[in-house]
Structure 1
Amino acid sequence: MASTTNPDFGANTEATEVAKAFTDGIRGKTVLITGVNRGGIGFATAQAFSTQSPAHVILAGRSASKAKESIDELKAEFPDVDYRFLEVDLSSQASVRNAAKEFLSWSDIPAIDLIINSAGVMAVQERTLSKDGIEMHLATNHIGHWLLSCLLMPKLIKASEGKPKGSVRIVNVTSASPMVSNMRWSDMNFDKKNKDLPQEEQPNYEFFKLWGYENCEETSYVPLDGYNRSKVANVLFGIEANKRLFEKHGILTLAAHPGVIMTTELGRNFPKETLKAAKKLGSMGFYTHKSLEAGASTSLVAALDPKLANGIGETHEGSDNYGAYLADCQISTGAKPLAVSSSEAKKLWDFSEEATGQKFSWGCEAAIREDKNPDTFSDADSTISQPVTDSLASLRSSVLQHQIENGQYAYPNDQSENERLEIQHNVWLLTLRGSLALCPKGNEAAKRVLDVGTGTGRCFSTVGSKLLQIGERDVADQTGHWRGSEPNSADYVSYQFSGTAESDKQRVPINCTFEIDDLEKDWAWAKPFDFVFSRVMAGSFEDYDAFISKAYKALEPGGWFEMQDIVLPYKSDDGTLHADLELAKLGHYVCEASKILGRSVEAPRHYKSMMQKAGFINIVERHFKWPLNAWAKDPYYKEIGAWSFANLDGGLEGLTLALFTRGMKWTKEETMTFCAEVRKHLRDPRIHAYLPVIVVYGQRAESASTDE
């Protein structure tokens, strides 16, 4: 059970006393603190840390001149500490990303031990939205800190390596707000009148009256309410972060209420009526004033006390996530249940990802895992699989050697991609109204089918299951692997795919064979096929004419070849996809990068002429549209749009990372930042963008010679 080391610490304990009690947690460490103007809690926090010889103290804020004043004062008193300024406007996601990019580039500071998210705004008198369209309190006090912390996670994870759990921490400076408030999920930007909110989301009207706010039921925005909701978010951020980070990396995130300090700049926006009410409440004993040093002390306890890491997140005396919220240097149980709820925390995390257009699992790690890059793919990587037989080891070795020799496959090969391909398969089924293919062989028994670039194998495993009487079926993947699924036994012609759990496994029909082959080399199948099928192979070949010619020669007379593919760039018919939007740029950049790498994604628009050139007859070309989200009114397209959104949203980094870093020489950070901007547009129903898709099929003549 979480507890504190010093039960005697309390409301009057000063930060320097806490620092002395936990000196080993500070000496030689790197600390990042936001909101460090002189006269603020963040500055007092920096002073206290500096007394115990940290290696680096990074002061993050908007004003370089004010930061210099703080650094000059700190340097005069503690000359041996390395102080640095990190410019960041927490209300702007672009500024946060630039700050994170700068910090990550500091090679002489490879790790961060502690982040103290102390900056904040309060009592913004008129409802104000940030540049990113988020209410200003929430944008600054939560979203900015959440995004900065997540983007800097690689350095926090680096610091945690080999250390006891809880040694590396994030502390969010909150307030008393969790004791009186919770989130406003149905109206995050304060558009509705308070009385129209669900009952559980309505503010505490009596509390607001105490602070001089009258008739709040009829208003939509109360400045103190905006502040309160953002401070609840500070607590919920930590609860979900612990579920994602503590067991895996030992990183602990807590929220600390500093108390009421009237000498800071935080209340500079208070009107006279509120200041008058605050003075009256103080005289009535509603709260007690603290000094700056006492106000900073709880943040240091949250950052340093090792006992807080024991049993974090447990329920104690009816309080969820006991230990996540501290006040007066001790664990507090005063928060409302919804302010410390695990389900509310998960909901906030999802909202934060949507608001920033970026998913973290973990940090940039999930999207830019080095071990998922074919250029650094290790045969001994346990995250891929372990050999279970000598034959499988040989099989896997050939896969990896293919990647080493070629390195052309620019897309991921993991479970997430496997799941995305299942989504994409469903988009195709919706598009073709339940059909797997449109050519005649897609609706009649086939004897021998070649499925090119089979992905998860779902498409023609379905065919094999339905048509067990058709006999042998060969399936080859142009890239030499299965994009996320590997057989767990090489002793059978029929492989069993392995996912992340038993429930993910699917048995491949006995008439299905999976083969590893490079389809840019000569095809070695002696027995012809009566159906060759290719889906979404744009960007996979250097010479599409050669590929289509091989497909023609591999068919028996009368056999059919069908190609289903996407046609970049993205389009809109009503002009809402403006050229300057990152979503519009995405399609053009992918086209450009694929050309640089010599494997153009623009080939599908020429499939028909290529098939004619190869000798196919009875060629049919059909065009379809995939809305990029559910903006369409027509139910058919709305459903396609919802699935299409999930397909692109889930595979955005996989689509871009290798292409942009290899082809366009972008950094990983630049690519991730671009993806975050794309996601904002992807989620906007006002942008009526769609992805053109194409189906082209043709037949080898009945009279054609098998030797031609």
Structure 2
Amino acid sequence: MSEADANERIAVDPDVYIAKPSTEEDNQSETTSVSSSIYRGLIENGRRYQTMREDEYWSPADDLQFESLEAGHAVAVVLESDTPNPLFRAPVGSSAKNILDIGTGNGLWAIDVADMFPQATVRGVDIFPPPVTWMPPNCILEVDDVLREWTWREPFDFIHLRIMLGAFTDKEWDIVYQKCYENLKPGGWIEQLELDAHLEADDKSVPEDSMAASWGDATFGCAERSGRRIDTLNTMSSSIERAGFVDLNEKSNKWPIGAWPKDRQLKEAGLMNYHMWSAGLEGWGMWLLTKFGAPNPWPPEQVQTYVGKIRSELKNPRVHAYQKARRVWARKPLN
């Protein structure tokens, strides 16, 4: 498949209309996340949240959310599978010695890159321990807050971030990008991949009055009121340039949700993206809606009903939903 443009329509597979209705089991990944009971966090509304930072963060850190992250990693890799390197676009040479993955989540990207660069030390950092039982000897997963002082001694050749929307306030994002700039070698690269929370369809199969159509504005409003906007997809380019990076590149495309695309690669990605949404919806919405829902904070039961309806709509093969994605990579000047 050629590189998809964000404005290009995705062809629909007519065969999905005559197939049996899909089920949750049909769309689930064959792999599952591994968790360890030794790690404890803050339990709220049945979900586990980090306690590393003093302030709260909207995303849970539990088995179901790690399962969603695992599916998201698979989508990103599948949609880049026709490129020489499906893990990133930055022209990082084979001589790279130090690589950092900020917001590593379940650590899958860091582990895969460590396999790709056996001569490099690849560090993955997040505010909650990843559910990993094995990793390559050159991969180190750490629990830390990147807003604090960085204590790594060697500068990095490459720093990677992915699906970090809502992780920081606007001011904190500026701090993170500045720290990335300061801790990269001259000529080193930064790359970030982000998603839009809004659900769209080129053929209007996501009606304006549907639950799926309301999701983006509902969560955007909650995030705005919480002080942590989730429009990172639209702000990261200018923020990265403002930090001093040059030679900025962008690639935008669409992540389909469900098996409806005709193209084989997009169909595979859509199946996994449906699983990411199915596993992730409650976690994405629970903290935001119960604390900052409009016109008043929602009870947990209302959130569960809401996300259940969205799952049902996205499971319908006649709904050709997608979300926009954008990848940005840029270089620290040599001088």
Aligned mates of 1:400, 1:597 — CA distance in 2: 17
> In the alignment, what sits opposite 1:674?
306
> In the alignment, what sits opposite 1:529?
156
> In the alignment, what sits opposite 1:406?
55
1:452 positional shift: 0.4
Matched, 1:637 2:288: no
Q: Would the aligned equivalents of 2:129 and 2:142 in 1 still touch at CA under 8 Å?
A: no
The TM-score, its normalising length taken from structure 1, stands at 0.39
Counterpart of 1:374 in structure 2: which amino acid?
A: L
1:574/1:456 CA distance change after superposition, 3 Å: same
* Secondary structure, aligned partner of 1:462: helix
Matched, 1:374 2:46: no
Counterpart of 1:534 in structure 2: which amino acid?
A: L
Matched, 1:482 2:153: no
Structure 1 runs (4+) greater than 6 angstroms displaced: none
* Secondary structure, aligned partner of 2:273: helix
Aligned mates of 1:187, 1:512 — CA distance in 2: 43
**Residues 520-579 of structure 1 deviation map (CA, whole Å, 9 limit, x = unaligned):** 233333421110000100110113222212211111100000001102312222222222
> In the alignment, what sits opposite 1:457?
107
Aligned mates of 1:473, 1:187 — CA distance in 2: 44
> In the alignment, what sits opposite 1:546?
175
Matched, 1:420 2:68: yes
1:689/1:429 CA distance change after superposition, 3 Å: same
1:419/1:400 CA distance change after superposition, 3 Å: closer
- Higher strand content, 1 or 2: 2
> In the alignment, what sits opposite 1:599?
228
**Residues 340-362 of structure 1 deviation map (CA, whole Å, 9 limit, x = unaligned):** xxxxxxxxxx96x79xxxxxxxx
> In the alignment, what sits opposite 1:687?
319
1:622 positional shift: 0.5
Aligned mates of 2:214, 2:260 — CA distance in 1: 20
Q: Would the aligned equivalents of 2:197 and 2:215 in 1 still touch at CA under 8 Å?
A: no
> In the alignment, what sits opposite 2:210?
581
The residue correspondences of 1:30-429 to structure 2 (distance < 5 A) are 374=42, 376=44, 401-403=51-53, 405-407=54-56, 409-429=57-77
Aligned mates of 1:187, 1:474 — CA distance in 2: 44
The residue correspondences of 1:690-701 to structure 2 (distance < 5 A) are 690-701=322-333
User: Which residue, 178, 199, 205 being the options, matches 1:570?
Assistant: 199
Matched, 1:435 2:86: yes
Q: Would the aligned equivalents of 1:623 and 1:694 in 2 still touch at CA under 8 Å?
A: yes
Q: Would the aligned equivalents of 2:113 and 2:122 in 1 still touch at CA under 8 Å?
A: no
**Residues 377-430 of structure 1 deviation map (CA, whole Å, 9 limit, x = unaligned):** 9xxxxx99xxxxxxxxxxxxxx96525x222x2222222322322211110101
Please list every run of 5 or more consecutive structure 1 residues that lacks an aligned counterpart in the other structure: 1-185, 189-349, 355-370, 378-382, 385-398, 486-496, 498-504, 704-708
Aligned mates of 1:432, 1:698 — CA distance in 2: 18
Aligned mates of 2:311, 2:246 — CA distance in 1: 42
Q: Would the aligned equivalents of 2:194 and 2:232 in 1 still touch at CA under 8 Å?
A: no
1:599/1:545 CA distance change after superposition, 3 Å: same
Matched, 1:513 2:140: yes
Counterpart of 1:667 in structure 2: which amino acid?
A: P
The TM-score, its normalising length taken from structure 2, stands at 0.81
1:519 positional shift: 1.7
- Higher helix content, 1 or 2: 1
C-alpha RMSD of the superposition = 2.7
Aligned mates of 1:537, 1:565 — CA distance in 2: 7
User: Which residue, 469, 472, 476 being the options, matches 2:119?
Assistant: 469
Aligned mates of 1:439, 1:580 — CA distance in 2: 40
Q: Would the aligned equivalents of 1:556 and 1:700 in 2 still touch at CA under 8 Å?
A: yes
Q: Identity of aligned pairs, percent?
A: 30
* Secondary structure, aligned partner of 1:621: strand
Counterpart of 1:619 in structure 2: which amino acid?
A: L
Counterpart of 1:671 in structure 2: which amino acid?
A: V
1:618 positional shift: 0.8
Q: Would the aligned equivalents of 2:190 and 2:330 in 1 still touch at CA under 8 Å?
A: yes
Aligned mates of 1:583, 1:439 — CA distance in 2: 34
Counterpart of 1:661 in structure 2: which amino acid?
A: T
1:372 positional shift: 8.8
Aligned mates of 2:210, 2:276 — CA distance in 1: 20
Counterpart of 1:605 in structure 2: which amino acid?
A: N
> In the alignment, what sits opposite 1:448?
98
Aligned mates of 2:40, 2:222 — CA distance in 1: 20
1:646 positional shift: 1.0
Q: Would the aligned equivalents of 1:431 and 1:624 in 2 still touch at CA under 8 Å?
A: no
1:376 positional shift: 4.8
1:649/1:375 CA distance change after superposition, 3 Å: closer
Aligned mates of 2:273, 2:50 — CA distance in 1: 31
Aligned mates of 1:650, 1:599 — CA distance in 2: 22
Aligned mates of 1:577, 1:463 — CA distance in 2: 37
Counterpart of 2:123 in structure 1: which amino acid?
A: D
1:445/1:425 CA distance change after superposition, 3 Å: farther
Counterpart of 1:688 in structure 2: which amino acid?
A: H
* Secondary structure, aligned partner of 1:440: coil
Aligned mates of 2:117, 2:234 — CA distance in 1: 32
Task: Number of aligned residue pairs: give it.
Answer: 296
1:530/1:453 CA distance change after superposition, 3 Å: same
Aligned mates of 2:42, 2:224 — CA distance in 1: 19
User: Which residue, 190, 199, 218 being the options, matches 1:561?
Assistant: 190
Q: Would the aligned equivalents of 1:661 and 1:668 in 2 still touch at CA under 8 Å?
A: yes
> In the alignment, what sits opposite 1:661?
290
**Residues 216-254 of structure 1 deviation map (CA, whole Å, 9 limit, x = unaligned):** xxxxxxxxxxxxxxxxxxxxxxxxxxxxxxxxxxxxxxx
* Secondary structure, aligned partner of 2:52: helix
Aligned mates of 1:400, 1:567 — CA distance in 2: 24
1:426/1:400 CA distance change after superposition, 3 Å: closer
Aligned mates of 2:20, 2:273 — CA distance in 1: 27
* Secondary structure, aligned partner of 2:119: helix
* Secondary structure, aligned partner of 1:451: strand
- The higher radius of gyration belongs to 1
1:482/1:684 CA distance change after superposition, 3 Å: same
